[in-house]
Amino acid sequence: MSASTHGPRERIVYEAAQHLRRTGVAGTGLREVVSAAAAPRGSLQHYFPGGKDQLVGEALEWAGTWAAERVDEHLARMRRPSASRLFDAITDDWATDLASRDFERGCPVAAAVVDCADTNDAVRQAASAALQTWQRPITEALVAMGRGPRRAQALSTLMLCALEGAIVLARAQRDTAPLRLVARELAPVLDA
Amino acid sequence: MSASTHGPRERIVYEAAQHLRRTGVAGTGLREVVSAAAAPRGSLQHYFPGGKDQLVGEALEWAGTWAAERVDEHLARMRRPSASRLFDAITDDWATDLASRDFERGCPVAAAVVDCADTNDAVRQAASAALQTWQRPITEALVAMGRGPRRAQALSTLMLCALEGAIVLARAQRDTAPLRLVARELAPVLDA
């Protein structure tokens, strides 16, 4: 996302998502987000009258949509799509991002769940919705590959569980090996 | 842990871990921890001169040791241990805890990573060490079941990735289904 082609509202949502990825919900300061977005003072109140909850909710929605679009991009590039190739592409995306940014940024949805699942139901629901947005094109692709709808849903859930955990282990160890490992180990289950 | 059999230091560490599980690192207030531990004012400075970083580090160490002891307990109860039965027992523990506490508390190690991996290397290292403490008895058990050391390490990493992610999805959806699902889907890989 470049500053020149998006308005302040979009830039604020994008920067909020990136802050969530670095330091979680409680660690995300609204002033820093507005400053990073190069947005005018007062734009937060103007665009997000619901305050931090609204901004975090929209950041999660943005993240879910972005992740779903990446799934579509991976699928569009594959000559012979398979479940394991799709999971490989998703984990490779994350490994590349983590390695290139020195393990700075994790998954904003996981951050929202860890920080807010028990204390802020609006944020929890936004996190759950973002996961669904992300999972839907994966499930649909698996159905297109011949899996039944229930099986496709189970496999896409398995992918997201393994991926989310692998991101946590990778950041803890500062090593992308857990991402490579889950892609390799799940391949037989995904393609069975 | 009961208040009567443990001193204030142990109670503070325990309560810190429980607060991390509910609201993450930034959301954990030291006063609330001391109050929940029914510890005297001033005990924080007395026992934890290194401040919040020291307390969070010890809470993670406690959590890793606790989780490792649970692994040993599961193994001791199994007549015919297998990798899938061990993973089943671990995921069942989490599903039971989440369901009985209304999805209140997640994994403190994941919370520490999400909130601090980029901003607090002492906490990140403590989280990484806790994961190693937890993983070690799993790996050793898999070796005792006949896996080679490298294979055992790969499978225990796979277990922790799938488990950590399933906890995130379970709390987001307020449903233990992801935990049951990863146990079921990984069984063939774990026992292969």
Residues 93-122 of chain B with CB under 8 A from chain A are 103-106, 109-111, 113-119
A180 CB neighbours in chain B (<8 A) are none
Nearest by CB: A165 against B104, B124, B163 = B163
The verdict on B160 touching A (C-beta cutoff 8 Å) is: yes
The pTM of the whole model exceeds 0.90: yes
User: Closest-CA residue in chain B for A179?
Assistant: B161
Which residues lie below 8 Å from residue A93, measured CB to CB, with a gap of 6+? A70, A74
The verdict on B141 touching A (C-beta cutoff 8 Å) is: no
Low-confidence ranges of chain A (pLDDT < 70): 1-5
CB–CB of B65/B13 below 8 Å?
A: no
The verdict on A154 touching B (C-beta cutoff 8 Å) is: yes
Instruction: Check residue B27 and give its pLDDT.
Output: 92
pLDDT band (50, 70, 90) for residue B6: confident
Instruction: Tell me the per-residue pLDDT of B116-168, one tens digit each, with 9 for 90 and over.
Output: 999 999 999 999 999 999 999 999 999 999 999 999 999 999 999 999 999 99
Nearest by CB: B168 against A22, A24, A164 = A164
Q: Do B23 and A103 touch (CB under 8 A)?
A: no
Instruction: Tell me the per-residue pLDDT of B41-84, one tens digit each, with 9 for 90 and over.
Output: 899 999 999 999 999 999 999 999 999 999 999 999 999 999 99
Task: Read off the pLDDT of each residue in B4-32 and give the average, rounded to a whole number.
Answer: 93
| Nearest-CA distance B177 → chain A (Å) | 10
For residue B4, pLDDT over 60 is answered with no
B164 CB neighbours in chain A (<8 A) are 164-165, 168-169
Domain B60-191 is classified in which CATH homologous superfamily?
Tetracycline Repressor, domain 2 (1.10.357.10)
Instruction: Check residue A4 and give its pLDDT.
Output: 53
Which overall architecture, per CATH, does domain A8-191 show?
Orthogonal Bundle (1.10)
Tell me, what DSSP letter sits at residue A176? S
Instruction: Check residue B17 and give its pLDDT.
Output: 98
B7: left (phi over 0), alpha (psi -120 to 50) or beta: beta
Instruction: Check residue A5 and give its pLDDT.
Output: 67
Tell me, what DSSP letter sits at residue B66? H
CA B127 – CA B182 distance, rounded (Å):
23
Instruction: Check residue A41 and give its pLDDT.
Output: 83
The verdict on B181 touching A (C-beta cutoff 8 Å) is: yes
CA B79 – CA B54 distance, rounded (Å):
40
